[in-house]
Structure 1
Amino acid sequence: MNTRKLWMLLTAAAVLFFFVLPIARLVLLSVQGENGLSLGVYTELLEQKRFWDALWNTAIMVLGSTLLSLLLGTASAWLMAYTDIRWKKAMHLLILLCFILPSYVLTLSWSSFMGVQGPVAQILNVLDPGARPWSVYSMGGIIFVMGIHHFPLVYLFTVNVLKKISRDLEWAAGTGGAGRLKVLFKITLPMALPGITAGGLLVFLASLDNFGIPAFLGTPVNISVLSTLIYEEIIGFGPSAFARGASLSVVLGLIAIVGTLLQWLSVRKSKQGETYLPDEQPRYFLGRHRLWIMPLAWGSLLLMSVVPLLSMILLSLRRSYGGSLSLSNLTLDNYRYILLENASTWRSIQNSFMLSIAALMICLLIGTAIAYFRVRRPSKMNGLAELAISVPYTLPGIVFALSMILTWMEPLPGWNPGIYGTTTLLLIAYVCRFLILQIRSSVTAFSQIDPAVEEAASVSGAGTRRRWQSVLLPLILPGLLGGGLLVFLTALTELTVSALLYSSGSQTIGVTIFGFEQAGSTLYSTALSSLIVFLIFVGAGLLGLTQKMLRRRRGGRLS
């Protein structure tokens, strides 16, 4: 009992130090004045036109992208859940591709696709030599790219809810004389509203957190939102830069917390309504409408993800940005430069891989242990610990990054560990921010295993090590690997936290791509982004192959 209490105290102390203290430091700095607690920084912010412009731009960006994601996500979910459209598995993967790609990669894809040297401009030049393509470097461009990046979230929340709506209700309404549109708006959509709302609120939070899209598309044309304004304040330094950044972070964090609570309530309501098993059979047959719905659906998905991606890859193969797209202008020099000739780029790749693998291993060990106690020995303390651990991921990345700076410059009075600006601080930040992803994945894996299996092994004389090695790990390993890959890929492509925490020698891939784009080296940024896409596909393929082999092996053992 004494050992157990000691471990509980150490765990509570670690949770408070790593997850609660940074947020407390951030809030304290925002209300700290020369003579004690003060709201002077907030008063100063409210008097600045720059703050209100950023707040207005943030509202337009978030609401506009959320509305676009709701329209695209609900339409695609209805099409996949209710119709007999062909090749649904491939379409499902294509929808997810829009979200799997890092936001800055998708942004570079669209900027190269719609740029003055892109394929759209070349087609317009043939039709009308004076025509210019629509510029994505605008508020409309930010909303568009962010909307197509986040609409899979609405799709994922809505498609299963639609499948669980009883078709008897729709048949009854149709028998009563209601047409298809009336059934859709009076029966289907109202009953799917919990899933649609939950997905929409999650898009709201993701848009609020996103730094890459407004930084790449908004900064060049002086469009600031709260996340980019915090970044500008911190890198601008000055006597009150951290205080202004902290107060802006508190404002952004409060908006995110309110959105998180609403999203949690929506998800809870959606789960309470799950009384039917998913109905996988189509309810509407396209018939002759297949001739135009299929090309429209597939063309839209290809245009949103694959076509801009190919445009970015082709741009990365050009000798010069202004050169024409021809065989004589294609080269691998850009890839040779970033991989072999630029030492800082190669160092950033090494840093990202090292940080991602280290974060994967730490999150895998700690997250699995926490998830085991959360499922097998639930308590209020476990619940509070999980809530505290989820805070860094709930808050916008730029807010959490600033809290890490304030904490680790001097974690305890008089003690400076000297890790600010190093990869060590980045690793701590990655683990704190992404640990909840591994915990949630591991909780799902443990919840699918009957405790009787573990009890039977214990009764048979198996010790703790033998139970984990022979019983638990073979059963939960596919789920653990899924969460681990999510941590790895998220850390590998991370930009928001790294943009504030890096220094010379500790750059990551995302920061390097951002630096190339800010310096006007578009060919190098697109080449490095293309490598990221390749690594994502390789990682996803290896995970799928590994999980398939593990399932076969487990099936062989059970048989």
Structure 2
Amino acid sequence: MSDITLKPAPAPRGRLANLAPLEPGRLLWFGLAAVMIFLVVYPLWQIVSVSLHDSDGNFTFENYAKAFGRARYIQSFTNSLWLGVCACVLSLCFAVPISWGLARTDMPGKRFVWLGVIGAYVMPPFMGAIGWILLAGPNAGWLNRIFRSLSGMDVALFDIYTFSGLVFVVALYSFPLVFVFVNAALELVSSEMEDAGAILGASIWHVARRITIPIVLPTIIGAGIIVFLEAVSLFGAPALLGTPARISVVTTTLFEFFSNPVRVEVAAAYSMPLLLITVILFLLQYWVIRRRGYVTQTGKGGERRMMKLGPWRWAVFAYGFGVIFLAVILPLIIIVQAALSKAWGQGFSFDNLTLNNFRYILFEHSTAGQTVINSAMFSFWTATLAVTLTLLIAYIVNRKLVPFSSVLGFLAVTPFVIPGIVLAIGFYAAYAPPPLALYGTGLIMVLSFTTRFMPVAYINAASGMRSLHPEMEEAVRILGGSRMTAIRRVIAPLLKRSLAGAWLIVFIGATRELSTAIFLYVGATRTMSIMIYDLSEEGRFEHLSALGLVLVVATMAFVAIGFRVVGRDFMLKRS
């Protein structure tokens, strides 16, 4: 028998040689890179480009002159910065004691307070603002009416239509962001250092002030920066509370630029300093958070014991209960009363009780039904697209399939530093004009929402990918399966709990998103949050309370599903 010699196939030449390196992982990278350019890079580039060109396409700085040429516009910018600082400080005052009480002490009622923080977390800030309008409006607010009836004085004790009222409401619904970070950091601190302070004769309060809180101070500072960024980018609460008091901020001024005629060039120029400040503060926050590593230098195996506060534990609980009462219980009581009333100002009585507000909103209003459907559909596709996209990105980044794969991860978290209102301006500038002309379509709503909440989904997906060893998908490859098969049949099932949690968080966020949607919607694409804002402008508090209550109840239902499927910490965990 003659020997058979197998010769290697000749190497491809010409164009075939260029196509050879394009294996599936590289093709997937190019595809995802194109998607990220569409969702992140191009809208940001358009903000810069549009701000430097007039309507005819000529290079100019005139847009900046118009944006900052009036004292009122500069005052709006100053108001936003001051709002961010004040809301940050007040949020820290709310969140840090509660975090310390839950994580480090024997405070009673921990589950109640924890559920209350969840309630404040899922309560849309604009709904909280509406609740406090009904409570502390200077003329008809229930707190002022009770004060007048008890004191006989014809004055308003509270006025929510003030700068301090705006700060109060923004802080009430921003403090859970601080709680997420600070509570997680406090749970990692060993009790050994606190025990050392106690042995040296320090009181519990001295230990907390001089040992525990300084240990997590970098985390507190980083969380405060996040609250600042959140406060300056809010639209709903400043529009509802600030506009009647003639207190303008950056977001409400940008909304003016989008009134007829739309001045997108001036809006882009006006948003640039906000974007720059946001990027700088995010980099500062990242640097500060990274320095928190020293808190665990006591070694592994440190035990965490609850401090015994004695009678003071009830004072700590009372403080936590007070914050939850102001943020969740009191506003919800008045919203429920308004939703079930023929006229909310007539108070609690059987004669004033009705379900007609719900019937009108859900079945009789000409556009309310479509609005609910829009919110559900936009949120569903946003969550699905965001989770799918970020799972693929996290896979490529974690497995380092191609050079520069980390660029995709960077782009996936970039929207975190972009205020929603600035992102909306970018999408309008990029995709409202021809040839795509997406303005007024459901697609631009879904794409902008996906970009807005992509960092949340990516953080969950990346955290899950780090917990999986590559040998699992390598077994699929050995058996002839592709990488996509490994993702679909191995990785996704193993990460289903983490991905389900990310999907629910994105879905909940999209249902209540207002800052981005308010710039991109038309009548046919209006969402529940926009309709609530429109109803508040019309003064129809009974109807908007009914619709808002539907939104809150639906959100809490999804939170309950998350607790059941993913676990009780799926909304307040930090990766």
The answer to whether the superposition gives a TM-score over 0.5 is: yes
* Structure exhibiting the larger radius of gyration computed from Cα positions: 2
Change (3 A) 1:171 1:405: same
Change (3 A) 1:228 1:541: same
Gaps of 5+ in 1: 552-559
Q: 2:289 — aligned with what?
A: 267
Out of 100-109 and 452-461, give the one that drifted further.
452-461
1:146 has 2:166 as partner: no
Give the number of the structure whose residues are more often helix, by fraction.
Answer: 1
Q: 2:230 — aligned with what?
A: 206
Q: 1:191 — aligned with what?
A: 215
Q: Is the 8 A contact 2:32 2:393 kept in 1?
A: no
Q: 2:194 — aligned with what?
A: 170
Change (3 A) 1:178 1:299: closer
1:48 has 2:70 as partner: yes
Return the alpha-carbon distance in structure 1 between the equivalents of residues 527 and 294 of structure 2. Answer: 42
1:361 has 2:384 as partner: yes
Decide which of 440, 450, 468 is 1:431's aligned counterpart.
450
Decide which of 313, 317, 341 is 1:294's aligned counterpart.
317
Out of 429-438 and 512-521, give the one that drifted further.
429-438
Q: Is the 8 A contact 2:215 2:295 kept in 1?
A: no
Decide which of 363, 382, 385 is 2:405's aligned counterpart.
382
Return the alpha-carbon distance in structure 2 between the equivalents of residues 52 and 400 of structure 1. Answer: 21
CA offsets 1:139-165 (integer angstroms, 9 cap, x no match): 111100111111112122112322333
CA offsets 1:122-145 (integer angstroms, 9 cap, x no match): 431331232434121211111001
Report the alpha carbon displacement of residue 92 of structure 1 after superposing the two structures with TM. Answer: 1.6
Q: Is the 8 A contact 1:81 1:282 kept in 2?
A: no
Change (3 A) 1:93 1:382: farther
Report the alpha carbon displacement of residue 326 of structure 1 after superposing the two structures with TM. Answer: 0.6
1:12 has 2:19 as partner: no
Q: Is the 8 A contact 1:142 1:217 kept in 2?
A: yes
1:322 has 2:348 as partner: no
Q: 2:258 — aligned with what?
A: 234
Out of 155-164 and 190-199, give the one that drifted further.
155-164
Report the alpha carbon displacement of residue 84 of structure 1 after superposing the two structures with TM. Answer: 0.3
Report the alpha carbon displacement of residue 224 of structure 1 after superposing the two structures with TM. Answer: 0.5
Change (3 A) 1:272 1:439: farther
CA offsets 1:500-544 (integer angstroms, 9 cap, x no match): 001121111111111000111111111111000110111111222
Report the alpha carbon displacement of residue 35 of structure 1 after superposing the two structures with TM. Answer: 8.7
1:540 has 2:563 as partner: no
Report the alpha carbon displacement of residue 41 of structure 1 after superposing the two structures with TM. Answer: 2.5
Q: 1:89 — aligned with what?
A: 111
> Which amino acid in structure 1 is aligned with residue 162 of structure 2?
S
Q: 1:555 — aligned with what?
A: none
> Which amino acid in structure 2 is aligned with residue 294 of structure 1?
F
Give 1:11-30 correspondences, 5 Å limit.
Answer: 11-30=32-51
Gaps of 5+ in 2: 1-20, 571-575
Q: Is the 8 A contact 2:512 2:529 kept in 1?
A: yes
Return the alpha-carbon distance in structure 1 between the equivalents of residues 118 and 561 of structure 2. Answer: 18
Report the alpha carbon displacement of residue 119 of structure 1 after superposing the two structures with TM. Answer: 3.9
Change (3 A) 1:201 1:378: farther
1:496 has 2:520 as partner: no
Return the alpha-carbon distance in structure 1 between the equivalents of residues 335 and 502 of structure 2. Answer: 29
Return the alpha-carbon distance in structure 2 between the equivalents of residues 426 and 272 of structure 1. Answer: 43
Q: 1:398 — aligned with what?
A: 421
Return the alpha-carbon distance in structure 2 between the equivalents of residues 89 and 306 of structure 1. Answer: 15
Return the alpha-carbon distance in structure 2 between the equivalents of residues 506 and 469 of structure 1. Answer: 33
Q: 1:520 — aligned with what?
A: 539
Change (3 A) 1:11 1:155: closer
| Identity in percent | 25
Q: 2:267 — aligned with what?
A: 245
Return the alpha-carbon distance in structure 2 between the equivalents of residues 469 and 507 of structure 1. Answer: 35
Change (3 A) 1:249 1:318: same
Return the alpha-carbon distance in structure 2 between the equivalents of residues 109 and 148 of structure 1. Answer: 12
Return the alpha-carbon distance in structure 1 between the equivalents of residues 28 and 208 of structure 2. Answer: 55
Decide which of 494, 504, 507 is 1:475's aligned counterpart.
494
Q: Is the 8 A contact 2:440 2:522 kept in 1?
A: yes
Q: 2:22 — aligned with what?
A: 2
Decide which of 184, 188, 201 is 1:160's aligned counterpart.
184
1:112 has 2:134 as partner: yes
Q: Is the 8 A contact 1:113 1:312 kept in 2?
A: no
Q: Is the 8 A contact 1:160 1:278 kept in 2?
A: no
Q: Is the 8 A contact 1:163 1:280 kept in 2?
A: no
Return the alpha-carbon distance in structure 1 between the equivalents of residues 436 and 105 of structure 2. Answer: 59
Out of 32-41 and 354-363, give the one that drifted further.
32-41
Please, what TM-score do these two structures have when normalized by structure 2? 0.88
Please, what TM-score do these two structures have when normalized by structure 1? 0.91
Report the alpha carbon displacement of residue 193 of structure 1 after superposing the two structures with TM. Answer: 0.8
Return the alpha-carbon distance in structure 2 between the equivalents of residues 284 and 3 of structure 1. Answer: 58
1:224 has 2:248 as partner: yes
Out of 314-323 and 87-96, give the one that drifted further.
87-96
Q: 2:4 — aligned with what?
A: none
